[in-house]
Amino acid sequence: MWLTVDPRSPKPVYQQVIESVKGAVAKGLLEHGDRLPSVRELAGMMTLNHNTVARAYQELERDRVIEVVRGHGTFVAAAVRPPDREARVQELVARIREMIVDAHHLQLSEDDLLELVQTTVRAWREERGQPDR
């Protein structure tokens, strides 16, 4: 199952569903046009509150990760540039800054950190079955 949710985690469950779906799309586990379970099906499968799942789906639809075709179901949308891209790039930068601070405390040099990033990207590609780009 591409969806993992830990209800005990401090992170709100709807947020975990969102990240799980986005992660599955990024990893290629879900592709454009794939049908997702309905809110009711997913709530049952994962034993999660249906309103929570519905809220995650609403946000995913707003972010254009999924699209709901009335009467047909919910599908993975074609990749589009999200409307709030600039703001999210800034958030990404903030997270990278946190990484730099952490790396400093782990006594990693800038080069070590960059190498770690490259190794991780390589491992990620291999997991997706596309070792070289």
14-33 residues in contact with other proteins (CB under 8 A) are 14-15
| Dist. CA 40–CA 38, nearest whole Å | 5
Site pattern 93..122 for other proteins (x: CB under 8 A): -----x--xx--x-----------------
Considering the complex, what minimum distance in angstroms separates the CB of residue 4 from other proteins?
14
Identity of the residue, 47 or 69, whose beta carbon is nearer to other proteins in the bound complex: 47
| Dist. CA 77–CA 66, nearest whole Å | 5
Retrieve residue 31's tokens: 């592709």
Task: Based on the shown chain and the rule CB under 8 A, indicate whether residue 133 belongs to the binding site for other proteins.
Answer: no
| Dist. CA 110–CA 114, nearest whole Å | 6
Strands 73-76 and 35-36: antiparallel
* Range in contact with other proteins (rule: CB under 8 A) among 29-37, 45-53, 81-89, 114-122: 45-53
